[in-house]
Amino acid sequence: MVARAAFGKRNKDQEEFISLVEEATILAAGFSIVDLYPSVKVLEVITGMRSRLEKLKNRLDKILESIVNEHRDGKRETEGGKSRETEDLVDVLLRVQKQW
């Protein structure tokens, strides 16, 4: 529901986005030895946490960039081919960015 409010109606990557958010929640909520010793950077490599977080971040970045580009290019249209009348969060943020 939050994704739909932020990005508008169904997006081609919506299912993957929700899956990645769930995965990020699990990683953030879980316990890791890295949490006890954050200054020991080698633990991030040994546990594989760093690589999992990097992969997750890269996949999320691609999806979010795709959503922003889709909004920026104005490809989001209704079934009748007319432009949407309602703005979602991405539209508002792009409009504010353009004004600055």
Per-residue model confidence as pLDDT tens digits over 4-32: 767 776 667 788 888 999 999 988 888 87
pTM of the entire structure?
0.70
Other CB atoms within a 10 A radius of the CB of residue 76 amount to: 18
Q: Say which DSSP state 83 is in.
A: B
Q: What share of the chain is helix, strand, coil (3-state, %, to 5)?
A: 65, 0, 30
pLDDT in tens, 57-97: 999 999 989 888 888 887 555 445 555 567 888 888 888 98
**Relative orientation angle of helices 49-72 and 14-29, to the nearest 10 degrees:** 150
